[in-house]
Amino acid sequence: MRLSQRLSMGLVLVAAIGLAATDAAARTASAAPVLGPGIERATGPVVGPEVETAIIGGTAAASDTWPAMVALIDARIASPLQGQFCGGSLIGPTWVLTAGHCVDDATPGDLQVLAGTVTLVAGSGDRVGVNRIVIHPGYDPQTQVNDLALVELARQPSGSSPVRIAGVDDADLTSPGTVATTLGWGATAIVPAIGDYPSRLQQTTLPIQPGAACVSTLGTAFVAELMVCAGTATRNTCLGDSGGPLLARTIDGQYVAVGVTSFGPCDAAAAYTKVSASTSWITTTITTPASATRTVALVATPSGNGYWSIEGDATIAAFGDAMPFPATGSSLSQPIATATRTPTARGLWLVATDGGIFSYGDARFHGSTGNIKLNQPIVGMAPTPTGNGYWLVATDGGIFSYGDARFHGSP
């Protein structure tokens, strides 16, 4: 379902996510709603994901207590209270961690992020635009496995500071019996009325449960290696808070994001995506420039029956009759700007924006300008007919000659 379609949805009090185990559990557990679609907050419907959650048995959060907590807002709606549809956590200066199902059909222009406030009131906090949305590559909208997404902000929000994410060495923070904290602006009643969506952030503590507790409510939908089980009949998340954090405290009192609110019933143990299972993906994504995650060049084979696709991080994919080449992504100081094949089509040159040159197959290495201060980034490359040289062209028209490439002057 598209975001635009969700705007026409009415109030949904009881809704299933399409998982048979979850639906069955909800029907037999005092008719409580499971995490479901499209909620109304005050006077009309707002954008909301297929699977949503909110705080049950919580209390109002004091100002400045959760500086990493953010609200995802529909960019078309001026009122934060009306436009908020998910939560998230600031985990870097310009990066927010949220649930994959919150943004899986969204574009950056659909969203804004409200940070630096505990109240959904016009004029409070810092409302920031979005540059990029990155869904976890293993996210499955049918099973909610790897239910994570990263949202890159247009700038660093004021009044906020990041929370640390759990790593592989933080297994003790998700062991059964650990008391965790969850946050959100969602409904404060299991069967909510329109007035049950607060403008002030709610918080509650809840125990992390053994995986068996979630298996009993969610069946095979609960995957222990990728999820954390938490919550009770009276302290839980429910309609409205997907994407918000599950926080545990270290021995020195530091809060760590160990989970992301994902799915389950409102009055029994529910599933949170386990952050430590995806630490490597999170870290790689937030440290990789946007230009390194896009295809920057397509180079055709002489026959026209194949091509190489080159990503900004120098990853090369071969299609058709194109010969495969390895990737060099670990050694780049700048993203790749362009690529050219050798006359034999048995090699490739990749050129980084700083003029650094990478050679593959029978492509000869003729030196690099990467250690020379360029006036402008490199944007083009052309080999000589012999394949023993090439010209590089900068954005200001500067030309660099290598091998048997003759220099004919520069504008």
H or E element at residue 217: helix 211-218
Question: What string of H, E and C letters represents the secondary structure of the chain?
Answer: CCHHHHCCCCCCCCECCCCHHHHHHHHHCCCCCECCCCCECCCCECCCCCCCCCEECCEECCCCCCCCEEEEEECCCCCHHHHEEEEEEEEECCEEEECHHHHCCCCHHHEEEEECCCECCCCCCEEEEEEEEEECCCCCCCCCCCCCEEEEECCCCCCCCCCEECCCCCHHHHCCCCEEEEEECCCCCCCCCHHHCCCECEEEEEEECCHHHHHHHHHHHCCCCCEEEECCCCCEECCCCCCCEEEEECCCCCEEEEEEEEECECCCCEEEEEHHHHHHHHHHHHHCCHHHHCEEEEEECCCCCEEEEEECCCCEEEEECCCCCCCCHHHCCCCEEEEEECCCCCEEEEEECCCCEEEEECCCCCCCCCCCCCCCCEEEEEECCCCCEEEEEECCCCEEEEECCCCCCCC
CA dihedral sign, ordered 105, 108, 110, 111: positive
What pLDDT is recorded for position 1?
29
The one catalytic residue among 147, 241, 313, 354: 147
Structure pTM?
0.65
Can you read off the two tokens belonging to residue 315? 């990853």
Name 125's bridge partners: none
What pLDDT is recorded for position 194?
54
Name 207's bridge partners: 179
* Residue that has been written with the tokens 């002057």 in this structure: 409
The reply to whether 101 belongs to the active site is: yes
Length of the chain: 411
What pLDDT is recorded for position 18?
27
Can you read off the two tokens belonging to residue 213? 């507790």
Residue 61's SS3 state is: coil
The reply to whether 242 belongs to the active site is: yes
- Tell me how far apart the alpha carbons of residues 22 and 264 are, in angstroms, rounded to a whole number: 7
Q: Contact 159/125 with Cβ under 8 angstroms? A: yes
What pLDDT is recorded for position 42?
32
Burial of 251 (0-12, 13-18, 19+ CB in 10 A): exposed
The reply to whether 136 belongs to the active site is: no
What pLDDT is recorded for position 6?
27
The one catalytic residue among 79, 89, 160, 242: 242
What pLDDT is recorded for position 38?
32
Can you read off the two tokens belonging to residue 130? 């979005």
What pLDDT is recorded for position 245?
96
The one catalytic residue among 74, 79, 101, 276: 101
All structural domains of the chain, each given as residue ranges with its CATH number in brackets, are 3-281 (2.40.10.10), 289-403 (2.130.10.10)
Of 169, 58, 351, 23, the residue nearest 359 (C-alpha): 351
10-residue averages of pLDDT along the chain (411 residues): 28 26 28 31 30 55 91 94 94 97 92 95 94 92 94 95 95 94 78 64 92 93 95 74 93 95 86 96 88 78 87 82 75 76 88 81 74 67 83 80 76 47
* Residue 210 to residues 5, 53, 190, Cα–Cα distance (Å): 38, 21, 23
